[in-house]
Amino acid sequence: MPFRFARIPGVDGKVLVTSEVGEFEFLDETDFRAFEAGTLSPATDAYADLQGKHFLVEGDPSTTLRMVAAKYRTRKSFLKGGPALHVFVVTLRCDHSCRYCQVSRQTADQARFDMSTETVAAAIDLMFQTPSPSLTVEFQGGEPLLAFPRIRQIVEAIEERNRVKGRAITFSMTSTLHQADGEVLEFLRRHDFQLSTSLDGPETLHDANRPQPGRESHRRTVEGIGRVRAVLGERSLSALTTLTRESLKHPEAIVDEYVRLGFPSIFLRPLSPFGFAAKAAQRIGYGMEEFLPFYERALAYILELNRKGVAIQEAYTGFLLSHILTPFPTGYVDLRSPTGAGLGARVYNYDGGVYASDEGRMLAEMGDHSLRLGTVHDSHADLMQSEGMQLLLATGVAEALPGCSDCAFLPYCGADPVFNLAREGDPVGHRPTNAHCTKHTGLFRILFRYLAEADPHVMRTFTSWVTQRPVQRLPDAEAA
């Protein structure tokens, strides 16, 4: 069967080989050379290992091909059903002025940037045209709770419509939680919301990244976390941190703040190349060559905490490990091939514009409207045949991209044409200098080094992150 290979820094004398369906094996140099040449002896352990993972086939290949095809179908099963994540941008208003914000925020008094009743009705009609049996309705902003009456209207209208449609509906929201008072929380509890908030670490770092009048963002966020947990329960809320240049100096302190506040997971997310984050890049930005050492240090610290009995995981690592260790797709739409933009997610902007992802919406705010699929008054079929979707489909299949098609990490990775458009002005991107590629090849090398070392405690921890992953909102867009 076809294979790809890579040499992992820190794993001396071993070569990683991977298959089209994500099986992998570490071979010593002698066995690898023999395998590559087709002369590996059937009497060796390496031969048996490779045969067991379908790298090697003896006799009639039909049974093996059926098994491999089943694994491949499973890996690509996210393609069934069409867009399942539907993001309603109910307002652009926000009471923060975060330096890294990727959204085009407006001040809290600018109600004209709220989604209209007419747009709400048309967006709901459009959402129910999609065939997916399970729908996640996510509310974003700005700060969505500044338009809470609109959220209430959308939820009640969807539930009324769903009495006939019979879909499985999940409601979620990203919010600072500052406006989450008793009335709001009781509504969210009744409708079983999953919430995500931003927590950038200790108070000084959080308040520097997420300024607010009075410099009390961290205090109010922590108070909101407490209120949410008291009404909705511990598992209803997750948090993520967005990393600035200053954040990279403090991996242990950031993780410790999550542990202090009782979070079972932390999402360590680099800056995006959109909106205010792009404008502030010279002051707060960094390259992947700076992010990867931070990540490696943070992951080592998290693993050491687990070794001491403190259960916390890095959420993105959990997604990557699921891609490596299982054939099952995750809900993370930004790491799919074909791309999750438009195929797995859709965004309804406050003004009625429809986008393939929230990043596509931000691209439009920056002057590039190529990923605007249409409006809420178009049909699902028209949006799926739009020029924006054609662009995504032509450039969003990693198996067909130069530099991706022969990469050992291809089965676990995905295409991100929206990111490439923002960074390079080209949806394909230039792999040798591509930040998405540099980030993910670096992350995979770190994780495969751990897998090669096979430390029993690390392996047990990694397995638990895959099989017992806590609820973690997946950030299709920047948290409010």
As to burial, measured by CB atoms within 10 angstroms (0-12 exposed, 13-18 middle, 19+ buried), residue 439 is: middle
| H/E element, 299 | helix 288-307
pTM value is 0.93
Of 2, 46, 38, the closest CA to residue 20 belongs to: 2
In 233-274, where does DSSP find H-type helix? 251-260
Of 95, 97, 91, the closest CA to residue 113 belongs to: 91
Confidence (pLDDT) at 239: 95
Structure tokens at 213: 């009048």
Q: How far apart are CA 398 and CA 413, in angstroms?
A: 8
Confidence (pLDDT) at 362: 86
Confidence (pLDDT) at 271: 86
The boundaries of every CATH 3.20.20.70 domain in the chain are 77-365
Cβ neighbours of residue 206 closer than 8 Å, sequence gap 6 or more? 199, 200, 217, 218, 221
Q: Does domain 77-365 have CATH number 3.20.20.70?
A: yes
Confidence (pLDDT) at 480: 34
Cβ neighbours of residue 163 closer than 8 Å, sequence gap 6 or more? none
Residue 139 bridge partners (DSSP): 88, 173
Per-10-residue mean pLDDT of the chain, 480 residues long, equals: 91 96 97 96 97 92 93 94 94 77 55 90 98 96 94 98 97 96 98 96 93 86 97 95 94 98 96 66 87 98 98 96 94 90 96 93 87 97 97 96 95 93 89 92 98 97 88 44
Confidence (pLDDT) at 315: 95
